Amino acid sequence: MSKGVVQHEVNMQLNDIRLEFIRTGERTLTSDKFTRTRTLPETIVAQCLQGQYEIRTQDQTIFVHPGEIVLIGSEVPFTNIHHLDQTGVMSSRWIHCRFTIFDNIDVASLLDIPLKISGFQASQMGDLIGQLLAIANGPNTLLNFIRTNEIAFKILYILCEVSKPKFTDFEDIRYSERLFPVFDHINNNLSTSISVKDLAKAAHMSLSRFFPYFKSQMQQSPMDYVKKTRITQACRMLVTTELSISGIAERVGFSNQFHFSRVFKEICGETPSAYRSQLANAQYLTSDDLS
């Protein structure tokens, strides 16, 4: 008698988890108490090499020493203070990245991410950042693009390994599947005016039912989500294009540059021009490069 075989099927396709972009860089400072307060629509993984980081969030303050890794999830407000060592230097290497599930759900939003890791996993993460930096300084070959994708998913694996999942079952993440047409409508119409009525229509729901449903699933109002999606796209364009700030504002649906700059600073904690200048030397790879 043959033994029974139990098969488990996961309703997931290979492209359900997607690397939208990853950028990498390194920094050496000789000016003490360099401080920035930010909230970014992307995950930050940074390794302190010399000196130390001081990271402040709403809940805690930590110090990150050489070899240790600081992890900042997307949409987390934080203040980063750079402290020099006894030789007057603070150096670090880092990546900013964004992974999505089902094209619209930020993986970081599904995890309780620790602010700091050390030991073997920090060493692993640092080595992977170093490999990305080496690739970034090399030629733009297909092999390097594939290697970048491989390293990025290794980083994601470690990130998930050290974090606590907010969902115990992958299928639970499909909670927002009914909202996929809404997400598509937003992404396809970022440059135009978008109303809650438009989104309710895309979801085939009444306005009175749609608003509380969206908020219960996404933990934010529909228009807050639209606003953050506009700013997320603007962040990418500020680094990957040479478009003027007014041109970017128009492409992501703002009527004028002043309004765009005000909302950008409200969400990210800095002006669009400051964001662009600080990441001017970063090496940036988008999902378009990987497809």
Hey, which residues does 26 pair with through a beta bridge?
A: 93
Which domains can be identified in the chain, with CATH numbers?
A: 14-165 (2.60.120.280), 174-290 (1.10.10.60)
pLDDT of residue 139: 86
Sorting pLDDT into bands at 50, 70 and 90, what band is 6?
very low
Taken in order 150, 155, 158, 164, is the CA torsion positive or negative?
negative
How far, in Å, CA of 249 to CA of 259, rounded? 9
Produce one character per residue of 188-214: b if its CB has 16 or more CB atoms within 10 Å, e if not: eebeeebeeebbbbbbebeeeebbebb
pLDDT of residue 282: 57
How far, in Å, CA of 147 to CA of 131, rounded? 9
Query: Could you tell me if 71 and 114 are in contact, meaning their C-beta atoms sit under 8 angstroms apart?
Result: yes
The pLDDT of residue 120 is above 70: yes
Return the minimum-mean-pLDDT range out of 59-68, 70-79, 138-147, 166-175: 166-175
pLDDT in tens, 243-289: 999 999 999 999 899 999 999 998 888 899 988 887 665 555 555 44
CB atoms inside a 10 Å sphere around CB 53: 21
How far, in Å, CA of 158 to CA of 227, rounded? 30
pLDDT of residue 12: 52
The pLDDT of residue 9 is above 80: no
Tokens read off for 85? 């060592």
241-244 long-range contacts (CB < 8 A, ≥24 apart) are none
Query: Could you tell me if 203 and 218 are in contact, meaning their C-beta atoms sit under 8 angstroms apart?
Result: no
How far, in Å, CA of 43 to CA of 53, rounded? 17
pLDDT in tens, 69-84: 999 999 899 999 999 9
Query: Could you tell me if 44 and 96 are in contact, meaning their C-beta atoms sit under 8 angstroms apart?
Result: yes
Sorting pLDDT into bands at 50, 70 and 90, what band is 14?
low
What pTM was estimated for this model as a whole? 0.81
pLDDT of residue 10: 44
Is pLDDT larger for residue 56 or for residue 33? 56
Mean pLDDT for 17-38 is 85
Query: Could you tell me if 16 and 94 are in contact, meaning their C-beta atoms sit under 8 angstroms apart?
Result: no
CA dihedral 130, 133, 135, 137 (to 10 degrees): -140
pLDDT of residue 218: 83
pLDDT in tens, 85-110: 999 999 999 999 999 887 778 899 88
The pLDDT of residue 3 is above 80: no
pLDDT of residue 176: 65
How far, in Å, CA of 284 to CA of 291, rounded? 15
Share the mean pLDDT of the chain.
Answer: 86
Q: Where are the beta strands (DSSP E) in the chain?
A: 17-29, 34-38, 43-50, 52-56, 61-64, 69-72, 78-83, 90-101, 105-106, 111-112, 116-117, 164-165, 283-286
Return the minimum-mean-pLDDT range out of 1-10, 75-84, 228-237: 1-10
pLDDT of residue 241: 85
How far, in Å, CA of 103 to CA of 179, rounded? 12
The length of the chain is 291
Q: Where are the alpha helices (DSSP H) in 96-179?
A: 119-136, 142-162
pLDDT in tens, 148-199: 999 999 999 999 999 998 876 666 666 567 888 999 999 999 999 999 999 9
